[in-house]
Amino acid sequence: MKTKNRILRRGLYAVFGLVLTVAAVLPGLGSKAAAYGQITSRSIMISNSATSATSVEYTIGFTETASGIVKSIVVDFCDASPLYGDACTVPGTFSASGASLTGQTGTSGWTLSGATAGHFVISGASFNSAAAMTFTVAGITNPSATGSYYARIYTYAAQSNNYSNVTTPGTVLDFGGIALSTANVISITAKVQETLTFCVSGAAPTSGCGGTSTPAVTLGHGTPAVLTSSQVDDNGTTTPTYTQLTTNAASGAIVRMKNSNTCGGLSKDGGSTCDIAPKGSVGAISAGTAAFGLYVAGGSGGTGTVTANANYNDGTSTHYAMRTANVTSTYGDPIESSSGPVSDVNSQLTFAAGAASTTPAGVYTANMTLIATGTF
């Protein structure tokens, strides 16, 4: 029993001794001689965190707390540790060999020298202690790996300091370690598709070509409506016609019109002949003259501008046109257009016709095709 207790006691003493020894030794094991102060309020702001980015600006900022006068600063870049004196490997493809000092605040007259892959020196006129200053260093290449890397900043009282290497930095006034990090660039993709919405309607369309009806124009007066030589009739209030245009085409859109009758006017024989002839260039249609034409009002409502073509709008709403060669060409005659994107812009089309006393009796028709073309 006594033996057992003795053994136990010895063991305990050994343990306590070990603990005390470790407690006493540990501070010594883990630290070097603290002969420098700590640089406070330190940071390095980088202009680009993308891996392998070149021409990156590093703005080193800190507040010097040394009571002495600082005349040089050394910055080392390491991949694994910011700690003073620790082993240091330049992070990946990081390079400061092309570094240049492009700005400084809180001081002046400093220059950069000794730039290598992971190291450079900034030195010059002294500055007072406890001052906040920044040094902007350009021309740095970031590491190629995503993740953390470190910088170590040393200040010296001597302009030509006794820095030897990263593990032997020499007589340091103050020191501070900084953690940096590269990060993945966030790629943002957003697709905006080309759009062109165009409709022709017998009723003024609502947004998005809503509320449309099949356009059917009857020209004439009286009941039933007939064309006579006594007056010119239009569809402005009786059977109106509208277009609506919406497009994100960068260069806008053009609306063209074609007449199904190869003669360009109103025909009672399928387009072979037009006893009610196309008006031609814009102008008035006189009562007693057999002519057919169009007036385009130009855009209203919505967003953006749709402009009537001057050939179909000379400023007088009772002037009409129907250019024979153009409305019977392959792609038709431009009647209105926009120079950029537009949304829900309506335009009223007014057709008009008159008959002469000799215009043969009959039912005259035409099919007008409207075609919108956007340039994206």
CA distance 73 to 115: 12
Which residues 107-146 are close enough to bind another protein by CB under 8 A? 146
By the 10 Å C-beta count (0-12 exposed, 13-18 middle, 19+ buried), 317 is classed as middle
By the 10 Å C-beta count (0-12 exposed, 13-18 middle, 19+ buried), 346 is classed as buried
Other C-beta atoms closer than 10 Å to the C-beta of 39 total 23
Other C-beta atoms closer than 10 Å to the C-beta of 49 total 15
Structure tokens at 305: 């501008």
Burial 127-163 (b: 16+ CB within 10 A, else e): bebeeebbbbbbbbbbbeeeeebbbbbbbbeeeebeb
| C-beta of 272 vs 375, nearer to another protein | 375
Side-chain half-sphere of 352: how many Cα atoms within 13 Å? 27
Structure tokens at 102: 């492009």
| C-beta of 156 vs 312, nearer to another protein | 312
195 forms part of the interface with another protein (CB under 8 A):
yes
Q: What angle do CA 71, 72, 74 make, to 5 degrees?
A: 165
Please name the residues in contact with 18: beta carbons below 8 A apart, sequence gap of 6 or more: none
Three-state DSSP at 8 gives helix
Residues 5, 164, 168, 358: which binds another protein (CB under 8 A)? 358
348 forms part of the interface with another protein (CB under 8 A):
no
Closest separation in Å from C-beta 205 to another protein:
11
| C-beta of 140 vs 257, nearer to another protein | 257
Closest separation in Å from C-beta 262 to another protein:
14
Please name the residues in contact with 364: beta carbons below 8 A apart, sequence gap of 6 or more: 227, 266, 267, 268, 275, 276, 353
| C-beta of 239 vs 307, nearer to another protein | 239
CA distance 340 to 10: 94
366 forms part of the interface with another protein (CB under 8 A):
yes
Binding mask 208-247 for another protein (x = CB under 8 A): -x----xxxxxxx---xxxxx----x-------x-----x
| C-beta of 113 vs 318, nearer to another protein | 318
Residues 112, 151, 200, 345: which binds another protein (CB under 8 A)? 200
| C-beta of 3 vs 184, nearer to another protein | 184
89 forms part of the interface with another protein (CB under 8 A):
no
Other C-beta atoms closer than 10 Å to the C-beta of 19 total 10
272, 260 Cβ separation under 8 angstroms? no
297 forms part of the interface with another protein (CB under 8 A):
no
370 forms part of the interface with another protein (CB under 8 A):
yes
Residues 198, 206, 284, 298: which binds another protein (CB under 8 A)? 198
| C-beta of 268 vs 307, nearer to another protein | 268
Which residues 41-80 are close enough to bind another protein by CB under 8 A? none
Closest separation in Å from C-beta 58 to another protein:
24
Interface segment toward another protein; rule CB under 8 A; list 56-64, 68-76, 107-115, 191-199: 191-199
| C-beta of 168 vs 193, nearer to another protein | 193
197 forms part of the interface with another protein (CB under 8 A):
yes
Residues 258, 279, 319, 323: which binds another protein (CB under 8 A)? 258
376 forms part of the interface with another protein (CB under 8 A):
yes
351 forms part of the interface with another protein (CB under 8 A):
yes
Burial 164-187 (b: 16+ CB within 10 A, else e): eebeebeebbbbbbbebebeeeee
Q: By the criterion CB under 8 A, which residues form the site for another protein?
A: 146, 184, 187, 191, 193-201, 209, 214-220, 224-228, 233, 241, 247, 249, 251, 256, 258, 260, 266, 276, 292, 330-332, 349, 351, 353, 355-376
